[in-house]
């Protein structure tokens, strides 16, 4: 990866988190490029080549990371298709709702290697979770290269069915908001019971961090970990019974189904772009 030229089209939060992660893993700054409408701002943050012209940025690139908003992906891809580097670079798309077939069509409908990625916002602090799907034209070394790039900002998993990207969108793509909501309601509940706001906040955040750390460092599933911290007849058992009485599982089933449905609708809408 350290010898590959990686060009980013779009310099938003996800692109900048990847750039920062790659620099931290030892990728030379001279091998990283980014094109954005505000290149001067990016140039002040990173010692890399910054452009305002997408076609300049992709010259001789081994990897082109498409990090623009899905609403403009068709336009951007069609422009890039007019000046594709001869070396047939790997395209990595981190735009939500853009299917491989549609991106391939906008890029010229050829044997174009494309990896579609669904990351999530904790990538901003190098703690992301990304699911990747590779088109049939992705070579083994490109497969490994894509994984290395995304691992610079967290965990990676591969999917063999592109349709599962919509499930990943519902689970981990939208997932940080679910945990923020849980932290929000826990903090408010603590305040209502008499805790000072800052105390409730700190206890909530550290508890969330500690629980996640315990789960990551354990080989046990979440159900068993929960059982181990739920003493029979104790306070935790009473709280869990109250949550289960409200059918918390059904609530999250409905939530993820709604998110998955919307992800599929968005993919259909973007795919209809000319």
119: its two tokens: 């990351």
* 11 assigned to a ligand binding site: yes
The SS3 call for residue 65 is strand
DSSP state of 123: G
What is the helix (H) or strand (E) element at residue 114, kind and residue range?
A: strand 114-118
Determine if residue 13 is labeled as part of a ligand binding site. yes
Residue 110 in marked binding region: no
250 is in an annotated binding site: no
183 is in an annotated binding site: no
67 is in an annotated binding site: yes
Is 69 annotated among the ligand-binding residues? yes
175 marked as part of a ligand binding site:
no
Answer yes or no: are the C-beta atoms of 6 and 142 closer than 8 Å: no
Query: Does 268 count as an annotated binding residue?
Result: no
Surface-to-core class of residue 151, CB atoms within 10 Å of its CB (0-12 exposed, 13-18 middle, 19+ buried): middle
Whole-angstrom distance, CA of residue 84 vs CA of residue 74: 15
On whether 176 is known to bind a ligand per the annotation, the reply is no
Q: How far is it, in rounded angstroms, from Cα 10 to Cα 39?
A: 10
Instruction: Tell me whether residue 70 is annotated as binding.
Output: yes
In the numeric block, the tokens 């970990």 are attached to 225
List, as residue ranges, the binding site: 9-14, 54, 67-70
List, as residue ranges, the binding site for NADP(+): 9-14, 67-70
List, as residue ranges, the binding site for NADPH: 54
């Amino acid at each position: 990866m350290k010898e590959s030229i990686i060009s980013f089209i779009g310099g938003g939060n996800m692109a900048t988190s990847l750039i920062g992660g790659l620099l931290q893993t030892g990728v030379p700054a001279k091998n990283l490029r980014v094109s954005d409408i505000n290149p001067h701002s990016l140039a002040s943050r990173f010692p890399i080549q910054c452009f305002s012209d997408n076609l300049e940025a992709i010259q001789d690139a081994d990897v082109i990371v498409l990090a623009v908003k899905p609403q403009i992906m068709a336009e951007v891809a069609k422009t890039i298709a007019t000046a594709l580097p001869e070396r047939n670079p790997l395209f990595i798309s981190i735009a939500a709702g853009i299917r491989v077939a549609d991106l391939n069509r906008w890029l010229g409908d050829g044997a174009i290697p494309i990896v579609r990625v669904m990351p999530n916002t904790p990538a901003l602090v190098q703690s992301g979770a990304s699911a990747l799907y590779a088109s049939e034209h992705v070579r083994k070394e490109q497969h490994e290269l894509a994984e290395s790039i995304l691992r610079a900002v967290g965990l990676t998993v591969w999917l063999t069915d592109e349709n599962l990207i919509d499930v990943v969108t519902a689970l981990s793509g939208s997932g940080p908001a679910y945990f923020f909501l849980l932290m929000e309601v826990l903090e408010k509940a603590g305040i209502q019971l008499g805790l000072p706001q800052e105390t409730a906040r700190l206890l909530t955040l550290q508890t969330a961090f500690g629980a996640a750390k315990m789960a990551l460092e354990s080989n046990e599933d979440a159900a068993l970990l929960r059982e181990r911290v739920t003493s029979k007849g104790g306070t935790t058992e009473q709280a869990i019974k109250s949550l289960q009485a409200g059918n918390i599982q059904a609530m999250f089933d409905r939530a993820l189904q709604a998110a998955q449905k919307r992800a599929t609708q968005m993919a259909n809408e973007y795919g209809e772009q000319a």
